Amino acid sequence: MKPRTSFTTCPSLTQARRPWTRTVGAAAVLSTASFAIHAQPAAGPGLQLYGLVDAALGRFASPAGGVNAQDRAVTKLDGGGMSTSHWGVRGAEDLGDGLSAQFELSSFVRNDSGAAGRSDALPAPVNVAADPVFSRAAWVGVSHRDWGRVRLGNVTSLLFLNSITSNAFGDSTVLGPLNLVTFIGSPLTGGTAWANSVVYDSPGFAGFNASVAHSISEGQGGGNSAARWAYAHGPWAASLVWQSVKKNPGTFADGTSPNDTRAWQLAASYDFEVIKLFAHLGRIDNLGTAVAPLNVSYRVWDLSAAVPVGAGRVLAGYAARRTSDTVGPVPATVAGGNVERKVFTLGYDYFLSKRTDLYATVMRDSTLTRTLPASPALVSARGTSFAVGVRHRF
C-alpha cells in the first residue's frame, strides 16, 4: 500500500471565530512554539505544505545590524518584521516498529519584492552570499521513538534554535532585541543554519532533551560543532547551548567575518499566566584567525516578557552586548557598535485568529564604537524605529 499523502488545509471560518480567550491562548502558543519549526518534522505520515508571510511598514532609524553615527531614518516596507517570511514542505513516512523517515525543505522569501532569500549577494569587504533556494532548511533523517533522531543536510543552528524558542519576540531578527545583539551585526560567526550537518536529537525523558551537531568541512579545514540541553516542566523551562565555529579557511562564510568564534547561551523562562518572563545570559569569544589571532570576549544578556492583554499580548524586551576588552578602531559609519550595543523594544501583538496577527512596535537602538581616527576614542549613536505589521501562517 502506498503511503498516504495529504496537504494541510485552512481552518473553517467557524473555527477561526472561536472565543477570544481560546484563540489568543492558542495563537500565543503558536507564535512562540512555531519558531521551533526549524527543527520539527511533519505531524505524522504524509506531506505538509507550510509557511509564514510577514510584512512590516515603518520608519527605521537604523539597519538591522545596528545604528551608526551617520544613519538617518528611512521609511520602508520590510518583508518580515516579527518573523522572516518563508515557505516549505516537509513530510514523514512510518516505517514500522517506532521507526520513521522524515525530511524538510524550506526557503526564505522577501514578500516586499517577491525575491527569494533574505538578501542579495554583496561584494567585499562584506562578502554576503545570496541565499540559495532552500537555505532555511534542507535535510533528511530517520527517527525512532525510543532512540531519537538523526538529520543530515542544511539544519538550523542549535544556538539560533535556542534563541528563537526562548524569548518574547520569537524569531524576529528585525525587532527582537536578543536576536539583534546576538546574530545581526554581531562578532558571532556561523549564521543561523549550518550546511553539511549531522545532527542527533535525543528523545524526551522526564522533561529533558538534548541535541548535538557537527558541520563537516569536507576537507577544507574548519568545521562547526554544537550541543544543546533543554528542560521543560509545567511553567518552567531552561536550556543551555554551546557552539564552536572554525572558519579558517573561510569555509562557512556568513557575511560577518572570517574569524573563529565560540559562544554559549543560558536561557530560562517562567509562565505566571498573567505574565511570562524570559531571561538569557551568554558570551561570544572572537578568536580571530590563524594569521591574525584575537582574544576578545563579549557578554550578552537579555530580559523579555509577554503579557496577555485583551485579544493579544504586550511584548517588551531589552538586550545588551558589550566587551571590556580593547577592540580595534573602525569607521564611525560601521553599524552595530564594536564595543557595545543595546536594544529595547516595546510592542503589542493582536490576534485576529490562531493564524493571523497584527502588531505595532517601537524600538530604541544604541551603540558605542571605537573609531578611526581615535579622537574621540568612542562614538555613541542612538535611533528610534516605529513599525506596524501583519503576519499570517499557513
Gap between the Cα atoms of 257 and 264, Å rounded:
19
Task: Sort residue 377 into left (φ over 0), alpha (ψ -120 to 50) or beta.
Answer: alpha
| pTM exceeding the 0.75 threshold for the entire prediction | yes
Sequence-distant contacts of 6-12: CB under 8 A, at least 24 apart: 6/46, 6/47, 6/48, 7/47, 7/48, 7/49, 8/48, 8/49, 8/50, 8/394, 10/394, 11/353, 11/354, 11/355
Q: Would you place residue 174 in the very low, low, confident or very high pLDDT band (cuts 50, 70, 90)?
A: very high
pLDDT band at 39 (very low <50, low <70, confident <90, very high): very low
The three cell numbers of residue 2 are: 502506498
Rg of the chain over CA atoms, in angstroms?
21
Average pLDDT estimate for 238-261 = 79
For the ranges 34-48, 191-205, 248-262, 317-331, the lowest mean pLDDT is seen at 34-48
Tell me the three cell numbers of residue 275.
505574565
Environment class of 155 (CB within 10 Å of its CB; exposed 0-12, middle 13-18, buried 19+): buried
CB 182 within 8 A of CB 173: no
Q: Is the dihedral of CA 41, 47, 48, 49 positive or negative?
A: positive
129, 240, 355 from 307: Cα distances, Å: 39, 25, 19
Q: Do residues 321 and 341 make contact, with C-beta atoms less than 8 angstroms apart?
A: yes
Distance CA 158, CA 177 (A): 19
What is the residue type of 211?
S
3-state SS, 203-225, equals: CCECCEEEEEEEECCCCCCCEEE
For residue 222, which of 196, 198, 248 has the smallest C-alpha distance?
248
The CA dihedral of 285, 289, 293, 297, to the nearest 10 degrees, is -10
Q: How far are the Cα atoms of 49, 92, 97, 136, 144 from residue 141, in angstroms, in the given order?
A: 18, 9, 16, 16, 10
- pLDDT tens string 105-143: 999 999 998 888 887 766 555 556 678 889 899 999 999
Q: How confident is the model at residue 36, as a pLDDT?
A: 44
The reported pLDDT for the residue numbered 10 is 37
Q: Which residues pair with 390 in a beta bridge?
A: 55, 358
User: Among 304, 320, 297, which Cα is nearest to 366's?
Assistant: 320
Q: How much is the mean pLDDT over the chain?
A: 87
pLDDT digits (tens, 9 = 90+) for 276-307: 999 999 999 999 988 899 999 999 999 999 99
String of DSSP letters for 247-274 = -SS-TT--SS-S-EEEEEEEEEEEE-SS
Alpha carbon 179 to chain centroid, angstroms: 6
Q: Quote the CA–CA distance of 336 and 369 in Å, as a whole number.
A: 8
